[in-house]
Structure 1
Amino acid sequence: MLVEEIMTQDVITLPPTATIAQGLRLLQDYRIRHIPIVNEQNHVIGIVSDRDIRDASPSIFIRNSDHQELQNEIQTIMSSPVISVHPLDFVEEIARVFHDKEIACLPVVQNHKLVGVVTEKDMLHTLIQLTGTNVQSSLIEVKVLDIPGMLPGVTAILGKRNVNIVSVLIYPYKDDPDYKILVFRIQTMNPTPVIQDLRNAGYNLLWPNNISEPRL
């Protein structure tokens, strides 16, 4: 899946000379958490979060505050330089950027111009889609040797029951490099026949571990 498939294209932006008050108003009106700061060429030169604006705003506990701080230019509180991604980057790869850099929003830039943004909420929604948890399905976890041919071997057994595979994930098995865990979500409310077929074929099922109580 590519970034261009999940990014928001209608991006609310501000020039660097806009006031913090303008930024606050945009956050409230559009219920967003980040505002890219762009120059006249639509190049991203900074980004401001709701936290940046909140920290720059006068405390509600200070009496007789004139809110003069809100008239400062927004470029005085923006973060710069900005980490950005390309529309053709893979979503799975930029997930690591979110994690490693501990950020919540990434501008999407093409030919040096802003074309969209991706937020941590977009990433979470995408993760739900990739794992198939948004579809009513049954979960099966199979422990297999980390050797070629294991995945098609399991899917062949599923195919014999004519069940639809919603998603397939592969995880390492704890700290043992010799094994992997294949995680299937299959679109059936009664996975018992498939589970029994896998057991009869000698596969080690981590879930369900009780054939009479499959988890949906």
Structure 2
Amino acid sequence: MNLSLSPEEWTAVRLTLEVAARAVGFGLPLAVLTAWVLTRTRFPGRPVLNALVHLPLVLPPVVTGWLLLVLFGVRGPLGALLQHWFGIRLVFTTAGAALACAVMTFPIMVRSIRLSLEAVDPRLEQAARTLGAGRLDRLFSVTLPLASPGILVGAIVAYATCLGEFGAVITFAANIPGETQTLPLAIYAALQVPGGEDKAAQLSLVSLCLALVGLLLSEWFGKRLNRMLGR
């Protein structure tokens, strides 16, 4: 099988990488904050927050995309405000595809970061507090560096997961070539055309290679950071 993709299909590959990067770049800081809140604080609504964070893992992706459409559509409560105040429209755009991917992979990042934060020895934070370090100082100088393997692995796995996201993206951002047609959507479109099985197979091979590289990188970076931290 010859891997000869058209310019439009290479655009789908490029768009997939771009959407995944934007999704992780947007979601990672929020995931770190959320994981820290769930790990280091206690408040009455904590179980509810934990359930909401992990909801995209158990909901069908199409339902998640539909909820995004209800909230961020041009007539949705948040979408209408963004359109009116800032002139930002998310639905059926590249930014909307990135938002859908960010929502779907957010629980993955939070889970990885939370496990890494829980593995941090609290005595090190207490020692830093004894030496006069404030909460933010302890967070950025002690906690986050020690939790960096989980943060990095969570980001890479989320990136690799974004490469294969389909249901939420097609529901919220549609399948617009050059705008929202990522690699999974291009594979779907190829399968809808008579005789498009070969093209779908080529695109699937590209998707497989990208996902495999992402997983291998997460494993390599995780082990390397753990060795640097003496674990």
TM-score bracket for the superposition, by shorter chain length: under 0.3
Which structure has the highest strand share of the two? 1
- Larger relative contact order, structure 1 or 2 (CA cutoff 8 Å, min sep 6): 2
Q: TM-score, normalised by structure 2?
A: 0.21
User: Could you say which structure has the larger radius of gyration?
Assistant: 1
TM-score by length of 1: 0.23
